[in-house]
Chain A
Amino acid sequence: MYKQMIIIRRMEMAADALYKAKKIRGFCHLSVGQEAIAVGIENAISKEDDVITSYRCHGFTYMRGSSVKEVLGELMGRRIGVSNGKGGSMHMYADGFYGGNGIVGAQVPLGAGLAFAHQYRGKKNCTFTLYGDGAANQGQVFEAFNMAKLWNLPCVFACENNKYGMGTSASRSSAMTEYYKRGQYFPGLKVNGMDILAVYQASKFAKDWAISGNGPLLLEYETYRYGGHSMSDPGTTYRTREEVQNMRSRNDPIAGLKGHLLDFEIATEEEIKSFDKAARKYVDEQVKLAEAAPEPEKKMDILFEDVYVPGSEIPILRGRIRDDSWDFAKKGFAYR
Chain B
Amino acid sequence: MVSNIAKTANLASSVLKSSVAQSLKINHPLSQSVRSAGTAAGATTITVRDALNKAMEEELDRDPDVFLMGEEVAQYNGAYKISRGLLDKFGPHRIIDTPITEMGFTGLCVGAALSGLKPICEFMTINFAMQSIDQIINSAAKTFYMSGGKQPCNITFRGPNGAAAGVAAQHSQDYSAWYGSIPGMKVISPFSAEDYRGLIKAAIRDPNPVMFLENELLYGESFELSEEAASPDFVIPIGKAKIEREGTDVSVISHTRNLLFCLEAAKVVKEKYGVSVEVLNLRSIKPLDLDAIFATVKKTGHAITVEAGFPGFGVGSEICAQVMESEAFDYLDAPIERITGCEVPTPYAKSLEDFAFPDTPTVVRGIEKVLSLGEWA
Contacts and interface: CB of A to CB of B under 8 A. Distances in A.
Contact of B184 (A106, A111, A113, A308): A308
A103 B186 CA distance: 22
A144 B107 contact: yes
Contacts of B105: 109, 143, 147
B225 interface: no
Interface in A278-336: 305-310, 312, 314-317, 322
Interface in A45-71: 50, 52
Contacts of A121: 117
B256 interface: no
Residue of A108, A113, A117, A314 with most partner-chain B CB within 10 A: A113
Given A83-B147, A106-B139, A314 B114 contact: no
A201 interface: no
A146 B101 contact: yes
Interface residues of A, number: 50
Contact of A83 (B98, B109, B146, B286): B146
B42 interface: no
A117 B111 contact: yes
Contact of B98 (A87, A101, A147): A147
Contact of B151 (A93, A103, A310): A93
Contacts of B114: 98, 110, 113-114
Given A103-B134, A140-B104, A314-B286, A147 B99 contact: yes
A120 B64 CA distance: 10
Contact of A312 (B111, B139, B208): B208
Interface string B22-37: 0000000000000000
A111 B149 contact: no
A194 interface: no
A86 interface: yes
A132 interface: no
Interface string A118-135: 101100000000000000
Given A112-B104, A113-B108, A308-B208, A103 B148 contact: no
Contacts of A93: 147, 150-151
Contacts of B151: 93, 98-99
A116 B115 CA distance: 9
Interface in B74-125: 93, 98-99, 101, 103-117
Interface of B: 67, 93, 98-99, 101, 103-117, 134-135, 138-139, 143-152, 183-184, 186, 206-208, 239, 286-287, 290, 325
Return the 10 tightest CB-CB contacts between A and B, nearest first: A113-B111, A109-B107, A143-B104, A84-B148, A117-B115, A110-B111, A83-B148, A314-B287, A143-B101, A306-B149
Interface of A: 50, 52, 81-87, 91, 93, 98-99, 101-103, 106, 108-118, 120-121, 139-140, 142-144, 146-147, 150, 305-310, 312, 314-317, 322
